[in-house]
Amino acid sequence: MGLQQEIKPVNSELMDTLVEASKMDWMPYVEGDDRAFAKILYTGSESGTWAVLFRWLKGFSADPHKHLAGSHTFILSGKLQVRDGLLNAGDYVYEPNGMLHDETTALEDTEYLFISNGPVIFFDDKNFTGYLGWEEWQRMKG
């Protein structure tokens, strides 16, 4: 029985995105801090989604921030303190749009996959201090 409708892609240029992360160099994540590194796996201009492999050395903390879209985190190795909880190797967490964080801290050397469906804003007690979305990652990628 044949399909009742055509399912071939309209865009003949559609392609998978394959990234050989094991062959990539780690790049600094925070300028001037030698405890946080990243490998940019994907930046999606059509959706705003981005995927990054992070390596945070013990003691590194990400500043307080708010997710402006849902995000997925999978811990490959190590341990992160996130809000009142601990994320260990093998743990996965989905964080919805609007999730607020105090500092997120690496309690051990930690590697994790982070996929965000949109930007993250960073703040202190008085101001917004940074914005991180697919465009910033694309600029870092070069």
Q: Please identify which residue in the block is written with the tokens 């051990």.
A: 108
CB atoms within 10 A of CB 142: 6
Q: Which one is predicted more confidently, 3 or 118? A: 118
Tens of pLDDT, residues 92-116: 999 999 999 889 999 999 999 999 9
Model pLDDT, residue 6:
85
Distance CA 88, CA 22 (A): 22
Tell me the CA distances in angstroms from 11 to 3, 8, 14, 19, 43, one per residue in order: 19, 9, 6, 22, 19
Helix (H) or strand (E) holding 126: none
Domains of the chain, with CATH numbers?
34-141 (2.60.120.10)
N-terminal to C-terminal alpha carbon distance within the chain: 48
Tens of pLDDT, residues 1-47: 577 888 887 887 777 888 999 999 999 998 888 999 999 999 999 99
